[in-house]
Amino acid sequence: MELTKHAHACVTLDKGTGHLLVDPGAFTPNATELIASSDTILITHEHPDHFDEEAIAAALDARPELKVYGPGAVVNRWEARAGQVTAVSEGDRLSMEGFDVAVFGDIHAEIHPDVPRCANVGYLVDGQLYHPGDAYHVPLAPVSTLLLPTSGPWTKLGHAVDYVRAVKPAQLIQIHELMLSELGQQSMARFIGPDMLGSVPLTILPPGDSLSV
């Protein structure tokens, strides 16, 4: 499949059979356009940097064919749209747009004990590519391509290194980067990659660029 990286946590996945949009949020400047051009959207959790509620609600109104999948905390706000929205949780297996999607995880990583944690799921697409949302959950399945969050109030370098070691991907691609400068992103790549603490290079893919996975 072809992965296109958009700003922050948002990616699109394409192959001959279809197109998936994952986590179009308020930190992604072209989220509205991406939503308008997608028929299937996966949301990992309810935080606005992953979930542009207003744009998705407008698209659901305008396009009855649009399908949205996410934790109950995301989709249950649209109970009247049972045909368009589906709540998912760990253990679910979905078939959509010619993709096979397995759901893993259940809760957002801790930011601070005083900050409530929300539901968070990760998506393993075609048994290859894993988008974890905002969690270091290790799926009980092989992962060839891991999308790794590198910045945010919940992230920590040491935890990220241990997460990559536990998942053991063959390919590692940065997401969730907007709180890092370009220098910060390069520094994270050096710490996480073979130069220091890891064995897999961290690919920094600029927004709008694509690669095959």
CA distances from 180 to 65, 153, 156, 177, 189 (A): 37, 11, 13, 6, 12
212 falls within a domain: no
Q: Number of structural domains, the chain? A: 1
Nearby residues of 140 by Cβ (< 8 Å), 6 or more positions away:
104
Express each pLDDT in 45-79 by its tens digit.
999 999 999 999 999 999 999 999 999 999 999 98
How, if at all, do strands 40-42 and 67-70 pair?
parallel
SS3 158: helix
Are 158 and 140 within 8 A, CB to CB?
no
**CB of 172 within 8 A of CB of 150?**
no
Name the residue range of residue 158's domain: 2-205
User: Residue 182 corresponds to which tokens in the numbers above?
Assistant: 């370009």
Q: What is the pLDDT of residue 82?
A: 85
Kindly give the parts of the chain with pLDDT less than 50.
none
* Structure confidence at residue 43 (pLDDT): 98
Residue 8 lies in a domain: yes
Residue 75 phi, psi dihedral angles, 5° rounding: -85, -20
Q: Model pTM?
A: 0.97
146 in any annotated domain: yes
Q: What is the CATH number of the domain that holds 55?
A: 3.60.15.10
